Amino acid sequence: MLSVQQVTKRFGNQTAVDQATFQLKPGEILGLIGQNGAGKTTTFRMILGFLMSDAGQINWDGQPMAKLDHRFVGYLPEERGLYPKMTIEEQVLFFGQLHGMSRRAVSAALTDWLARFQVKGKRSDKIKDLSKGNQQKVQLISALIHMPKLAILDEPFSGLDPVNAGLLEQGIRLLQKNGTAIIFSSHDMRNVAELSDRILMLRNGRTVLSGTVDDIQKQYGRTRILLERPALNRAELAGLPGVSSVRENGDRYTLALKDETAGSAIFKAVSANGYIQTFSQQAPSLDEIFRMKVGESND
């Protein structure tokens, strides 16, 4: 188990991470979110030992991470680092052996991983001749082929189309079933919401949200109403008691409420003339909550 307790990192007068605290169990996925510069990558680098914290403790199974052989860790950096003149096989062999695998074991596993991520290329193809998407897949394979106990993925979905993002998600699920503890960052809240068992949000280095998606959404109540083809127009909807804003998208409207208790009266108002196709009162999406928390920092 990974344990991060009261970890702080400063660069001069700037506090990049301020008393970060969380735990990550085997087979658990933690989504780390926040704006650029919030402290996500700095947190990863401290876990990996690339940076020393100024305060706090980072342990794995009760032992300080700094004293452990890190071959049990798989790391995908945000900025890709491949050797362009190497072939796919040479690249993956290099990283697999760094993590303690034999050449035979890497070679045997590589076939399955190339198929799993649908890499367009042969083992003998050089990295420089691959598309950016396939280069990213090769780097992912290099980080994960040894089936790490702890996987740290910094923006793994960046630049991937929906099909390839789905393949990556399958790879992450495979690691999870194998008992790998996984922490990843992403600016796509849909990926975070779908993959994460728990979420941690940093803002200016401080933890401002922590918990499951359901727990976080419950804090905000059911303050969103989704409507389709209501009898009222946008101005009329905005004028209903308890409505703070209205967003229009074709025939669909999203009403933001000041309080979820306004929902009953709004339902009566929009259905007064009979049937409406859609009325759904929900909690804000993770993307909306993210935007709200970021907005608080700009007040």
Q: Where are the domains of the chain?
A: 2-217, 222-282
Domains 2-217 and 222-282 share a fold: no
**Homologous superfamily of 2-217:** P-loop containing nucleotide triphosphate hydrolases (3.40.50.300)
Could you read off the pLDDT of 23-60 as tens digits, one per residue?
Answer: 999 999 999 999 988 999 999 999 999 999 999 999 99
Mean pLDDT, residues 162-188 taken together: 92
User: pTM of this prediction?
Assistant: 0.86
CATH number of 222-282: 3.30.70.980
Could you read off the pLDDT of 198-238 as tens digits, one per residue?
Answer: 999 999 999 999 999 999 998 889 999 999 988 888 999 99
Query: In this predicted structure, what is the pLDDT of residue 128?
Result: 92
DSSP the chain: -EEEEEEEEEETTEEEEEEEEEEE-TT-EEEEE-STTSSHHHHHHHHHTSS--SEEEEEETTEEGGGS-GGGEEEE-SS----TTSBHHHHHHHHHHHTT--HHHHHHHHHHHHHHTT-SS-TTSBGGGS-HHHHHHHHHHHHHTT--SEEEEESTTTT--HHHHHHHHHHHHHHHHTT-EEEEE-S-HHHHHHH-SEEEEEETTEEEEEE-HHHHHHHH-S-EEEEES-SS-HHHHHTSTTEEEEEEETTEEEEEESSGGGHHHHHHHHTTTS--SEEEEEPPPHHHHHHHHHHHTT-
pLDDT category at 297 given cuts 50, 70, 90 is: low
Could you read off the pLDDT of 106-138 as tens digits, one per residue?
Answer: 999 999 999 999 998 889 999 999 988 889 899
